[in-house]
Structure 1
Amino acid sequence: MIFVGGLPFSPNSSSSSSSMPSQSQPIDLLVALMEHPILMSATHSFKSIQERRVSASMDSELTTSSNNPKYVYLFQREYATVDPALVHYIGTDEATTCVGLVIRNRKNGITSVAHMDSPKSVDIGFIQMLSLVVDQNSDADLDVHLVGGFEDVSPNHANDSTISEGNARVDGFSFPLCRKIVETMQKRQENFHVQTLCVLGHNTKRDSQRNAYPIFNGFLVEPSSGSLIPARFDRTLRCPDEIVRRLRVSASYEDSSLHGKLLDTYDTKTDRIVIAPCSWTRRLVNFVLSLQSLSDSEILARHSTSPSAEGPDFVDNERRVWNYLIKHPDWKTTFPMRQPRVFERTDEGGWKSADFHHMDSGCKS
């Protein structure tokens, strides 16, 4: 169930808008939430915070009890649940039509974050995220933040009740995802206290030609306090095992064991990054080989849900993943004996491979 301002939320009892559409419950719920005065005020406050560019050289600007802040960074479709006793910050970025979801237990600070990219992974994703945030016999109050997604289609289209969830050409990618997330929260038995809803129109800016772009692409959460900061990460902190983790997103489409799931990233109890094994087929390798001659503009047009809104390194990241896949066409060389790739903390707060057999596959922290 969703709570706003400490009270159970219902679109029918909300006084937030007199122009709410009257078609379907999921659409009413999302629109009413976005127009609730408390959440509109919270969104305004969040947007007034200066976006932090997180890099190794700026670590000293972040307040921690340690000179070496400990991060957990999430790529697309990943999730992680962290203990504030072990992790100072958890965050993600590079989201355009994706949505970053934060669920934090008020009592103990246990915080789960996901970088969601599809309505299809929301239902199981909530089960994954909540498995360590809420005890089975607990009725814990959970603070929730949603940041990401933007008006990648006309708001009039998004409010059309005849639109099917799968018709991304008509209702875009951001709206169905946001709609599914809030619908799922309302149906579940846990108490979800929505604190931030910086999505869709609240997270949209336009240029002089009225082209839409997201205001924020990412954020940083401090589990101990629950504070949320708009953030953009330097590549050196998108670690560890960057390329393999990016590759998992593409490979997961072919791996039936991963359908409908968020990608495992982190072991909460041991403070280790654990990259669960996945496989890819020769068909994917051959497909990537056929893409080598594409121009930058063609890559954006064919491989992004929002070509005009991507960051400057989107194409380079795509090419680096393709090059890795071509160099390592057999997934067993990346995951020998289908074992996970494990990374442990260094004394400096970064990461090192726990298995010397693992090849270098991207940035290091």
Structure 2
Amino acid sequence: MPLFIQNRGLGRISSTAELFDKHPHLQENAKTFRSKPHVDVDPKSFLYVQQREFAATTPADNYVSVIGSDDATTCHLVVLRHTGSEAVCLAHCDGSSTWSEVPLLVKAVMSLSNVSKEGRLELHLVGGFNDESKTSHNLSINILAAFQNQKEDIHLETCCITDVNDIVVDGTHRPVVYGIGVNVKTGDVFPSSFTHKGPAEELRSARTFTGGQMADVYDSSCGLVKIGPCKWSPNLDIAFWLTQDDDTILKFLSTSPSAEPPHFVQHMKSTIQFLLEHPSSDSLFPGGQPQLYHRTERGDWERVVSS
């Protein structure tokens, strides 16, 4: 079945410019989304999704009321929601394996949805900008095509991507919106940024840095964040990066050096340092079991220690 845009077939799209030319209402909707005020999220009811991760839940969740992600430059943030069950999923996609990742997101929402409940799947895409390498453009087209390839009818509601998420600041192209959140109770999607990126922020970053695939990091049935088990081998060569200046790290470790947020380099350094301190991942996952985190009464994420 085709991917619908407000009950009209999307058709085959070869460029984002063509998409917005054919469907000008999407561009208007994107402009409206860009101008929405940034929402400050209470960390005590929030779940952060890192690059190459996704999380899904429903309004019945007593532990998470907002799912969010940020620091997306060429990456795209994806929200898929079923209007009947109100199950919702948020993912941070970087183009590593789009065609295998999109079915995971659809499955995550449908597995939390009662098939007899009337409603439809609605899609919100945010991210990318007019970068020189066209990485954003290619990811936009691939994500749209991958969703169009699903058997379910999916309605594109928000499409604030690449061309319409671009702004020029001091002669440099940058994204307008770097991060979004979705209110699990209402389904509202809004621009935001987050200071709380846990739990296990460095471990999760290390997983992605070492080539980990898209991972479901949340079990909504019991309110547990689940990380790993991950696999990586000792790589002392990466210590090289800690001897380089910030400009060099930015140039070679980013897909969009001119558009990264200010903390990008420090984030890379802390991830590399974590990998050097844990050259083998085995010690982080005793018995080959994942790390589990639950919400405390204070609202923090705390690791579950097995007895």
TM-score, L = length of structure 1: 0.78
Match of 2:30 in 1: 43
SS of corresponding position for 1:185: helix
Note the C-alpha offset of 1:107: 0.4
What CA RMSD, in Å, does the superposition of the two structures yield over aligned residues?
2.0
Instruction: Say if 2:297 is the partner of 1:347.
Output: yes
Residue 32 of structure 1, CA deviation? 4.0
1:178 aligns with 2:140: yes
For structure 1, the 5+ residue unaligned runs are 12-24, 60-67, 154-168, 358-365
Where does residue 108 of structure 1 map in the other structure?
A: 85
Among 188, 195, 220, the alignment partner of 2:181 is 220
Q: Residue 104 of structure 2 corresponds to which residue in structure 1?
A: 128
Q: Who is 1:83 aligned against?
A: 58
1:234-280 superposed Cα distances (whole Å, 9 cap, x missing partner): 1xx111000000000022x2xxxx5xx41231112111100021111
Alignment deviations for residues 289-341 of structure 1 (CA, whole Å, 9 cap, x no partner): 22221100000001000001111111111111111111111211112222100
2:85–2:119: 8 Å Cα contact kept in structure 1?
no
Q: Give the distance between the partners of 1:37 and 1:326, measured in 2 at CA.
A: 49
The residue number in structure 1 matching 2:192 is 231
Q: Which of 156, 159, 165 does residue 197 from structure 1 map onto?
A: 159
TM alignment of 1:282-321, pairs within 5 A = 282=234, 285-321=235-271
Structure 2 counterpart of 1:278, one-letter code: C
1:71 touches 1:349 (CA, 8 Å); kept in 2? no
Q: Which runs of 5+ in 2 are unaligned?
A: none
Tell me if the contact between 1:140 and 1:191 (Cα under 8 Å) persists in the aligned partners. Answer: no
The whole-number CA distance in structure 2 between the counterparts of 1:150 and 1:94 is 13
What CA deviation, in whole Å up to 9, does each residue of 1:14-64 have, x standing for no partner?
A: xxxxxxxxxxx4415x4443331321221121112122354xxxx3xxxxx
Instruction: Give, in whole Å, the separation in 1 of the partners of 2:306 and 2:197.
Output: 21
Deviation at 1:227, TM superposition (A): 0.6
Q: Given that residues 13 and 19 in structure 2 are in contact (C-alpha distance below 8 angstroms), is that contact kept between their aligned partners in structure 1? A: no
Residues 70 and 178 in structure 2, CA contact (< 8 A), matched pair in contact too: yes
Q: Could you say which residue in structure 1 is the equivalent of 2:47?
A: 72
Q: Residues 312 and 208 (structure 1 numbering): CA distance in 2 closer, same or farther, change over 3 Å?
A: closer
Aligned residue for 1:220, secondary structure, equals strand
Deviation at 1:348, TM superposition (A): 2.8
The one-letter code matched in structure 2 to 1:220 is G
Aligned to 1:34: 20
Q: Percent identity?
A: 30
CA distance in 2, matches of 1:287, 1:142: 45
How far is the alpha carbon of 1:184 from its aligned partner?
1.3
TM-score calculated relative to the size of structure 2: 0.92
User: SS of the counterpart of 2:109?
Assistant: coil
Tell me the distance in 2 between the aligned counterparts of 1:127 and 1:10: 19
Partner of 1:248: 207
- Whichever residue aligns with residue 332 of structure 1, its letter is D
Match of 1:149 in 2: 128
Higher Rg of the two aligned structures: 1
Query: Which residue identity lines up with residue 281 of structure 1 in the other structure?
Result: S
2:17, 2:163 within 8 Å by CA — same for their partners in 1? no
Q: In structure 2, what is the equivalent of residue 328 of structure 1?
A: 278
Q: What is the aligned partner in structure 1 of residue 217 from structure 2? A: 265
Displacement, 1:193?
1.1
Q: CA deviation at 1:196?
A: 0.7
Checking the alignment, whether the CA contact within 8 Å between 1:92 and 1:100 is kept in structure 2 is yes
- Residues 1:3 and 2:4 aligned together: yes
* CA-CA distance at 1:3 after TM superposition: 1.8
Letter in 2 for 1:180: N
Query: Is the CA contact (8 Å cut-off) linking 1:274 and 1:343 kept in structure 2?
Result: yes
